Amino acid sequence: MTKAKKRSASSPRRNPLFRLLKYEAEDERFLQISGDFAGLIRRSEKARRNAARQGNPDYAEAVAEREADYLEELVGASFLVLQTKIRRVTRAAERLAKFMREHHGLTMNGLDHQSIFGLGGNCRKTGHSRIALIWAVGNYYKHRDEWDAEVWKDPPTGAQGRDPHRQSRGTRRTVEKLGIVQHSPNNMRRALEFFGIKPYSKCEVLAEKVQAWAKKVYQLAEKECR
């Protein structure tokens, strides 16, 4: 911002929407929740190890199958917690940017949805940022049971008209880059492995990455409001 713009903005940092973004970015309660999930996952991993030590392959296999199902849901829920943090910070940033544009004629560079989600750059040559990938995994977990089989296929070449599965197919194409495939019982754990999280009880590491991203969003806003 130029000095003239700063004067016309009536001290942007006093704006309640700026303070709200600061609050959302600095709020670390989701880290505590992620830690709780990590503890539950750790218990599940321990149960599998203990079963394997019993010397009964059938029992060990049965426990492993039960715990695998449990792990899949725990990991999926942990992604929803990350998605909630991403949503809150993104909405707060977009609201601030919209207010400054509409009431002060100021454009806050980097606080549009695409730029916010793109922070951090291309993750492992997927064409998407880490935040965008986490968001897609959360959407996959929430809606996967609702998806029609057609979602897992691309529309015929030359198909005309509105694609009723366009959004779901977009999510599917994104999460496939993490190793997620149709009908697999291990997809959520594959997603964690893509991000280098193993054992799965280290899922807090991914939450810390999201918190670092949130702080960068706030720093961008702070820079624009100087």
- Give the pLDDT confidence of 62-91 residue by residue, as tens digits: 999 999 999 999 999 999 999 999 999 999
CA distance 178 to 192: 9
Q: State the pLDDT confidence band at 12, using cuts at 50, 70 and 90.
A: low
Q: Decide if 57 contacts 170 (C-beta within 8 A).
A: no
Q: What is the pLDDT of residue 10?
A: 54
Residue ranges of the domains in the chain? 13-154+164-224
CA 35 to the chain's CA centroid = 16
pLDDT attached to residue 140: 98
Per-residue tokens: 42:
């750790």
Structure confidence at residue 152 as a pLDDT band (50, 70, 90) = very high
> Which class for 178: exposed (0-12), middle (13-18), buried (19 or more C-beta within 10 A)?
buried
CA distance 9 to 21: 17
> What is the secondary structure of 24-48 as a DSSP string?
HHH--HHHHHHHHHHHHHHHHHHHH
Residue 68 region, left (φ>0) first, then alpha (ψ -120 to 50), else beta?
alpha
What does the pLDDT look like over 174-219, one tens digit per residue? 999 999 999 999 999 999 999 999 999 999 999 999 999 999 999 9
